[in-house]
Structures are given as structure tokens and as C-alpha cells.
Chain A
Amino acid sequence: DTAVSQTPKYLVTQMGNDKSIKCEQNLGHDTMYWYKQDSKKFLKIMFSYNNKELIINETVPNRFSPKSPDKAHLNLHINSLELGDSAVYFCASSQGFQGDTIYFGEGSWLTVV
């Protein structure tokens, strides 16, 4: 069983569209994250939820809206997609405490054309 799974893996869409990426973890973790990896491979945290509550919200355009229906799921919705949103988006989870291992999904490759 995949520990952190996200769908879709690949997504090509036009500018201005709205899209969602879904994520699920079966590790029983309380905390989930979205990280963005840009074209230069740089990884940066976007959001983090703990038990469905938003706890980290980095400087991200408000076109990006995370939603956590329960602690095993964290979805990312993106409105009015722009060319600069093209990146790999990684979902991850952990128990949330300092020093805990963060487990990453396989990534969702988003290309905006």
C-alpha cells in the first residue's frame, strides 16, 4: 500500500483553468503538507494542516486553496492557473513534531500552457 498517494500524477491544462490535486495518507499521521518544487528543483512549503486545521500558510497566492476534509486527506485547489504555476506539487505527512520523518508522495507534475 502506498503511504502517501496523490492524484493526478500528470496534469496539463490551459491558463485560466481551475484544477485540483488530491492527496491521501494511510499512515495515521495528524499533519499533512503541500510542498512546491519549481523548475530548478527548489522545494518550498506551501501549507500544513494538523487534524484538519491550517497551521502553516506560507506566502502563497490566494488562488491556491487547500482543503482537509479529514486528517487523512489534504486537497489542493488552484484557481485561474498561470504559467508560473507550472511545477511539481508534493503532498506529505508526518506526526508533526519536530524531528519527525516527513513522508512524501510521488508528486503531481502540473504544466500550464
Chain B
Amino acid sequence: AQSVTQLGSHVSVSEGALVLLRCNYSSSVPPYLFWYVQYPNQGLQLLLKYTTGATLVKGINGFEAEFKKSETSFHLTKPSAHMSDAAEYFCAVSGGTGFQKLVFGTGTRLLVSP
């Protein structure tokens, strides 16, 4: 079975500060890893994903994440937070044979203050 742990249900940063959202996964097979963002009262939008190849993955809106197999981590970062980044962020994992099934973490609410 696969699982995802997101440390910190809430993360607060100031505008312009570094954003770091943590995600650790558990998987007995090579994982595929995803970060999704959910703005209030909206659906989920893909920020970025890791499948194979380069372990540093760049996504939309200036976000990036690095797959570290030894640490079973896929932390999300952005060098400089913007007010519009305030949202809920979800890390998810899939993998193995058979049809795809995303397993989500519990989410992290990012708060950005002026």
C-alpha cells in the first residue's frame, strides 16, 4: 500500500519569503509523485509531477520539487511567495502495475501575509 505524509497542516510565510511544503511518501514500488493546488471553492490543479528521469522537477507558478529516494521525500519549494499562492496544497503518490490510483496526503494550507 502507498501513503503520503504532509508535515504541517498550516504553513505561514511572509510575501517574498521562501515557501517549503514537506511531503514524505511510502511505496513498495517506484513511485510517481504529484503536487496539486486547490484554491478556495475550486478543483485541484496540477502544479508538477515526477515520473522518471530528472529528480528536480519544475512546475507552474515558479514552484519546484525534488525527488529524493533515499529520504522518501518530495518537498515543494518556491523561492519567493506571492499573495496569490495562498491555497491548499496536496501531495499525492501512485505507482505499481494496474490502473492509476492517486493516494493523497492530508494537505497543507499555505498562508501568505503582506
Q: What residues make up the interface of A, taking CB atoms closer than 8 Å to B?
A: 4, 31, 40-45, 48, 50, 55-56, 90, 94, 96-107, 109
Quote the shortest CB–CB distance from A48 to chain B (angstroms).
6
Return the chain B residue nearest A109 by Cβ.
Answer: B41
Q: Which residues of B are at the interface with A, using a C-beta cutoff of 8 A?
A: 32, 34, 36, 38, 41-46, 49, 51-52, 88, 90, 94-96, 99-104, 106-107
Select which of B44, B95, B99 is within 8 A of A96 by beta carbon: B99
Which of B43, B44, B45, B100 sits near A100, CB closer than 8 Å? B100
Q: Give Cα A25–Cα B95 distance, bound, in whole angstroms.
A: 24
CB contacts (< 8 Å) of A103 on chain B: these are 46
* Distance A79 CA – B17 CA, assembled complex (angstroms): 48
14 further A-B pairs in the complex, CB-CB below 8 A; given A98-B96, A98-B100: A31-B99, A31-B100, A42-B107, A43-B90, A43-B104, A45-B101, A45-B102, A48-B99, A50-B99, A98-B32, A99-B49, A102-B100, A103-B46, A107-B43
CB distance from A83 to the nearest CB of B (A): 22
Cα distance, A56 to B96, chains bound together (Å): 14
Query: Given the complex, which residues of A lie within 8 Å of B99, measured CB to CB?
Result: 31, 48, 50, 55-56, 96
Do A42 and B42 touch across chains, with their CB atoms under 8 A apart?
no
Q: How far is the CB of A107 from chain B (nearest CB, A)?
A: 5
User: Beyond A96-B99, A98-B32, A98-B94, is A40–B49 a contact (Cβ under 8 Å)?
Assistant: no
The answer, among A56, A90, A107, for a CB contact under 8 Å with B101, is A56
Of the candidates A99, A103, A104, A107, the one having the most CB atoms from chain B within 10 angstroms of its own CB is A99
Closest B residue, CB atoms, query A101: B46
